A and B are shown apart, each in its own frame.
Chain A
Amino acid sequence: MKRKTSIGRRENANHSAYVFLFPYALLFLVFILVPIAIAVLLSFTNFNAIEFPGFTGFINYINLITKDEVFMQYVLPNTVKFALIVGPGGYVLSFLLAWALAQLSKVPRTILALILYSPSMTSGVAMTVLWKVMFSGDQTGYINSWLIHLGIITDPIIWMVNAKYLLLIVIIIGLWSSMGVGFLAILAAILNSDETLYEAAAIDGVRNSFQEMFYITIPNMKPQMLFAAVMAIVNAFQTGFISSQLAGNPTPGYSAQLIVNHIEDYGFIRYEMGYAAAVSVVLLGIVYLFSGISKKLFKED
């Protein structure tokens, strides 16, 4: 149901509405919309931060697809792998955890929710040292020490330099911090769901909590599910930054090079900003595409 009531008095509503909107709209325009527009424009140029950009047509995009071996061979597969596990994986996980928490009484629920959400408060980057210490390459590293103690490995693994493990580590960190705003939104939605619906469903023959979850809980909180999905997608593409924080840019053997690292590499290390802009546009396009898919899934008819 859409509410379309607007109350402002007709004679001055227009005027004051713009005054209320102006400060936010101006900053939004300057620091979000204009940069997106510039990114699109730059993506058609050979801008290198020194000379005035010259128009080059679709060459950046063509190069990205046909000539950028690093992108095709490492960045794209890594990003897809990372985003598919951390995005939908983290999303399903946050739903299941929220659903489980909703069945607890207030005190244990609040404590557990706080613990689960706390990684999201750290913003990943601030916790770089934690992962460096945990995955330290010698035997004083915690993970190595435990694995040796348990007899799983005999020699310490140099985690951060070993191309075999780096992406896995980054994915684990991504999942670790995936219980974000979306998780809170889902939890709040379940807690606020209408109890009479559940009673009615039980009378109508819903047998177990899984049927209940699919037939009652999820359909009744589609808007929040969509919000959480969008947050999960954005988070999945954003947290990739941790790769270069952990292992430098480029990551050893490009093993954990994700699309955001590729942008940083071309933009701020090689200063091929036109090309980096093209990669950014592709990133925004991917996020938009995935959000569109989630919208299809959760749109209320």
Chain B
Amino acid sequence: MAYKGNRINPQKFEKGQIKIILIILPLVLFMGLPIVFIFNHAFKPMDELFAFPPKFFVSRPTLDNFTKLFKASRTAGIPMSRYVFNSILVTVAVVFSSIIFSSAAGFALSKLKFKGRFVLMNINQAALMFVPVAVMIPRYLTVNVLGLTNTYFAHILPLIPVPVALFLVKQFIDQVPDSLIEAAYIDGATDYKVYLKIIIPMIKPAIATAAILVFQSVWANMETSNYFVSDEGLKTLTFYMNTLTNTGGNVTFQGIVVAGQGMAAAASLIMFVPNLILFIILQNSIMNTMAHSGIK
């Protein structure tokens, strides 16, 4: 019988698909089990955390680790709520500014005519390769020179420009039909009106995608807390969580981990779950945006 061609994106679940699932199952387990483990570990009571032989799944789940996590911060002088507040403030500010600035810049790059447009587009495309850790030192110096050290701005401003977000948004705006925009101009709309009334409503999937990518990078960011602020009260939740797991360095970490691993697992879960929820809510928009992600 002749080969019929692959069925990409089949409508119904068929038996043949079970074979595919079985083939990729080992990799799915490899990727998924550590996550499952964190979920289990975070809810383990003391005796199960140190059970021998160690048990993967929790049998008597408890919230102990979470309560301990909150108590630990109280003894450290700075209440956990302060870190939570800092993190939420910083994350909201960065995500919000980033999507507004990226969509505005994306609109200009995609649909407006101005000098230097192609140069700017190429610069941003090259910036996709940008590796932030490579410039930690100059960034630290820049933040210093601008006098942003020990302010919220040190957390917020450096994280707003995300080349990947601008790139994806711009590619998506390219898909907005020119005729639609043309018609608006004929009706007398200004560029600002076109941006607000046509572009923004039509690129919601791309905005959602940019938002989640920026969220992921800000929420987990430690560079700003490590290097740009020294005031404990200004540091973020990620930083605090990390001190719980990482105070030992390479010498005594074994001991540290044993003492605090339940708390640390709870902390990891707190860092992870918002990402997971956002991704589940926005997954349709993300896949829709990614279809236009090509570099031409």
Contact = CB atoms under 8 A, between A and B. Distances in A.
A129 interface: yes
A206 to B, nearest CB: 7
A277 B174 CA distance: 38
A138 B139 contact: no
B253 to A, nearest CB: 7
B129 interface: yes
Contact of B191 (A8, A37, A207): A8
B227 A7 contact: no
A20 B103 CA distance: 9
User: What does DSSP make chain B's interface, helix, strand, loop or mixed?
Assistant: helix
A25 B137 contact: no
Q: Which size bracket describes the interface of A in this complex?
A: 35 or more
Most central of B7, B11, B131, B134 by chain A CB within 10 Å: B134
B283 A121 contact: no
Interface string B143-177: 00010000000000110110110100000001000
Nearest to A229: B295
A195 B10 CA distance: 11
A77 interface: no
B122 to A, nearest CB: 12
A40 to B, nearest CB: 9
Contact of A8 (B11, B113, B160, B241): B113
Interface stretch (A56-64, A67-75, A216-224): A216-224
Given A24-B166, A238-B133, A273-B137, A248 B251 contact: yes
A140 interface: yes
Contacts, number: 375
A133 B250 contact: no
A292 to B, nearest CB: 9
Interface residues of B, number: 124
B196 to A, nearest CB: 11
Given A9-B191, A23-B104, A161-B250, 14 more contacts: A3-B174, A6-B111, A21-B105, A27-B160, A105-B13, A127-B38, A127-B272, A129-B268, A130-B37, A130-B38, A136-B257, A145-B53, A223-B293, A284-B134
Interface of B: 2-14, 17, 20-21, 23-24, 27-28, 30-32, 34-35, 37-38, 41, 50-54, 56, 97, 100-102, 104-105, 107-109, 111-115, 117, 120, 123-124, 126-139, 141-142, 146, 157-158, 160-161, 163-164, 166, 174, 178, 181-182, 185, 190-192, 195, 213, 216-217, 220, 222, 227, 238, 241-242, 245-246, 249-251, 253-254, 257, 261, 264-265, 267-268, 271-272, 275-276, 279-280, 283, 286-291, 293-296
28 contacts: A6-B112, A14-B115, A18-B114, A24-B166, A27-B101, A36-B138, A42-B138, A97-B24, A105-B13, A105-B17, A117-B279, A122-B275, A128-B245, A132-B245, A138-B254, A140-B50, A141-B54, A176-B31, A181-B293, A188-B293, A195-B8, A208-B3, A223-B296, A224-B290, A233-B129, A267-B137, A280-B134, A284-B131
